[in-house]
Amino acid sequence: MGYEPIIGVAGSPGCGDAGASRFVDRDQRVGRPVHHPGRVGDAPIIGAGLYVDSRYGGACCTFTGEMSTRTGAARFVISQMEAGKSPQAAVQAALDDLSHLRGGRLRDLVIHAVDREGSVYVAAINIADPVSYQYWNEDLQQPERRVADSISLTFGT
């Protein structure tokens, strides 16, 4: 099987405990499958590849870490949720921000976002094959397999 992260939300939906959100793949890591267990994303930099604020939600970026590092994408998503946006609208705002990048490694990126109520949105940017992930919370007997929205993004706009 290929790369398939699990988004786990501890606590019932609506409990507001996004601080307990977990972003892991089958082998307890996030990012490409060649990473060591425990690694978070291509560049485990808080604010760029991972950010959680229990008041608003959590976000994680995988695949090309340079892109999320240059824009602080994970923190940006959470700041958008702080301003009242849904996970989907927050990720869309991050995509708009990413579209202004020029030069460097501009390839593929996956942004995972979950708000304090347990609503999830995952976008796979510039990835040809479908990207699936699993969602779990304590009300589910087992994780649900879901497919990320596939988005084509042009840079330098």
79-117 pLDDT, tens digit each: 999 999 999 999 999 999 999 988 877 788 999 999 988
Whether the per-residue pLDDT at 19 is higher than 60: the answer is: no
Whether the per-residue pLDDT at 32 is higher than 90: the answer is: no
List domains and CATH numbers for the chain: 5-151 (3.60.20.30)
d(CA 137, CA 64): 28
Average pLDDT of the chain is 78
* Residues with Cβ within 8 Å of residue 106, at least 6 apart in sequence: 64, 67, 155
Count of alpha carbons within 13 angstroms of residue 81, beta-carbon side: 30
User: Which residue type sits at 81?
Assistant: M
The pLDDT value recorded for residue 18 is: 42
Place of tokens 């808080």: 46
Q: Pick the residue with more confidence: 41 or 146?
A: 146
Q: Are strands 132-137 and 5-9 parallel, antiparallel or unpaired?
A: parallel
Whether the per-residue pLDDT at 39 is higher than 60: the answer is: no
Whether the per-residue pLDDT at 141 is higher than 50: the answer is: yes
The pLDDT tens digits of the residues spanning 59-68 come to 988 887 788 8
Q: pLDDT band at 2, cuts 50/70/90?
A: low
- DSSP for 91-105, please give it: HHHHHHHHTT--SS-
pTM: 0.77
The radius of gyration computed from the CA coordinates of the chain, to the nearest angstrom, equals 14
